[in-house]
């Protein structure tokens, strides 16, 4: 196995776990600021690989690098009538039993003097801040990564500059190869003396500014002689080129290949464009993130339908949707493919950082779904408590009790079961029919 592929997987997992660790820091810091006792801060799941205790909190790393958590005491309020610090045996009903078991677990670490340090007794807005801290940290990380991409590296753009990947021969469309055979005909570009690095600026007097311009003009001209204007080493030149006719795959207006469609007898020059990176302003970062956020939210809304596609890809061999969900295993494989690919180092860096940025954005948005056990479920509970208290104050009624999210624990366990099934399906699909860079 290519060592770069393995290194890419490891590097992505390290980046992911750093992101997860900082997500939990986003919960940990406000929890400590507001006086909640945090007993554990862990990155990963399963048995503990390493830990250290600092004050009242144990910090550690677990063996399974899939997520993390902090453990706050008193996440759920006691039942009405319970004495402070005392617990009652669980009820017998199946759903009520789940609720009481979780409630008891939430109270079991409450020590004398901790009565005001439990999570459920904090002000509603403090609960929202604590539970919003994790997703907010992911958004901050996504913003940092996207800033590195757009401002530091630049957005990739296909330019009408002859790439080193350009072949000097006409390879038959029925053959899948990149090297020339002795019997292959030379391309019109090679015959005319076009060189790597030449920038195409005009065709028969018509201006070329983008690669789409060049493609449209060359294809639309068809076979025959043309005047190709280029700039080589800063000097403008004009080359006499005789285009040939060829059947080519159809292209959309933005230059993307239309699968299954062929344009007959279009003009052919025989050059491959170069990829350049145009640096953007900081203001462009927010617009870029906003556009991507809308697409991610749309994918989340269509998640059930997307998961059907994953199921079909896993068990029926259907092609994976490049816009569909991907698990940690699949993302790790993509990280390996990026480093092991033949892309330029700059393109590898852009694609890899983009993968981490997109994952942080998706993790942050997914955690805001207002369902337990996600952060959004606790945030929704805090908002509802704030609404109830505001209503009671306006109506001059007694202050209501803390919102008891334990009442929706049956739904929580159902949601957790669905998430586990989805995660398992993604892992299986990522192994048997993974998404690839192609």
Residues marked active site are found at 24
Cβ atoms 27, 133 nearer than 8 A: yes
CA–CA dist 150, 290 (Å, integer): 14
CA–CA dist 429, 262 (Å, integer): 32
Dmax over CA atoms of the chain, in Å, equals 94
Element (H, E) at 328: helix 328-340
Cβ atoms 98, 142 nearer than 8 A: no
DSSP type of residue 82: P
What's the full length of the chain, in residues?
438
Cβ atoms 323, 435 nearer than 8 A: no
CA–CA dist 104, 352 (Å, integer): 44
CA–CA dist 235, 226 (Å, integer): 20
DSSP type of residue 397: -
Number of Cβ within a 10 Å radius of residue 188: 24
Question: Which residues, including other chains, have CB under 8 Å from residue 222's CB and lie 6 or more apart?
Answer: 243, 245, 265, 266, 267
DSSP type of residue 75: -
Crossing angle for the helix pair 282-301 and 124-147, nearest 10 degrees? 120
Provide the strand spans (E) within 233-332: 235-251, 257-268, 273-278
């Amino acid at each position: 196995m290519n060592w770069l592929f393995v290194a890419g997987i490891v590097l992505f997992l390290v980046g992911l776990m750093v992101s997860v660790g900082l997500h939990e820091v986003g919960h940990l810091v406000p929890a400590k600021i507001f006086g909640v006792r945090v007993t554990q801060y862990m990155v990963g799941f399963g048995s503990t690989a390493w830990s250290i205790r600092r004050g009242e909190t144990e910090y550690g790393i677990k063996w399974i690098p899939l997520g993390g958590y902090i453990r706050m005491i008193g996440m759920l309020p006691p039942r009405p009538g319970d004495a402070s610090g005392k617990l009652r045996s669980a009820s017998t009903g199946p759903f009520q039993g789940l609720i009481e078991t979780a409630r008891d677990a939430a109270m079991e670490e409450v020590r004398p003097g901790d009565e005001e340090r439990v999570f459920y007794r904090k002000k509603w807005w403090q609960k929202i801040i604590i539970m919003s801290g994790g997703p907010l940290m992911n958004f901050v990380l996504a913003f940092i990564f996207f800033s590195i991409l757009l401002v530091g590296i630049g957005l990739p753009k296909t330019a009408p500059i002859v790439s080193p990947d350009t072949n000097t021969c006409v390879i038959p469309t029925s053959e899948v190869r990149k090297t020339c055979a002795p019997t292959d005909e030379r391309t019109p570009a090679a015959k005319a003396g076009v060189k790597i690095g030449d920038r195409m600026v005009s065709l028969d007097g018509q201006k070329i500014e983008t690669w789409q311009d060049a493609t449209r003009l060359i294809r639309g001209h068809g076979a025959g002689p043309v005047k190709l204007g280029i700039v080589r080493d800063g000097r403008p030149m004009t080359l006499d080129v005789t285009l040939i006719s060829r059947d080519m795959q159809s292209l959309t207006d933005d230059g993307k290949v239309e699968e299954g469609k062929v344009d007959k007898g279009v003009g052919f020059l025989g050059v491959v464009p170069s990829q350049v990176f145009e640096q953007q302003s900081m203001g462009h970062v927010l617009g870029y993130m906003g556009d991507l956020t809308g697409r991610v939210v749309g994918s989340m809304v269509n998640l059930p339908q997307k998961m059907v596609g994953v199921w079909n890809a896993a068990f029926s061999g259907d092609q994976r949707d490049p816009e569909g969900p991907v698990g940690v295993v699949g993302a790790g494989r993509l990280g390996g493919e990026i480093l092991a690919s033949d892309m330029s180092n700059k393109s590898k860096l852009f694609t890899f950082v983009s993968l981490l940025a997109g994952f942080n954005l998706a993790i942050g948005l997914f955690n805001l779904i207002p369902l337990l056990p996600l952060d959004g479920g606790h945030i929704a509970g805090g908002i509802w408590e704030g609404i109830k208290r505001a209503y009671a104050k306006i109506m001059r009624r007694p202050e209501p009790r803390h919102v008891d999210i334990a009442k929706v624990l049956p739904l929580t366990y159902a949601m957790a079961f669905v998430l586990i099934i989805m995660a398992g399906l993604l892992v299986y699909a990522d192994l048997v029919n993974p998404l690839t860079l192609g």
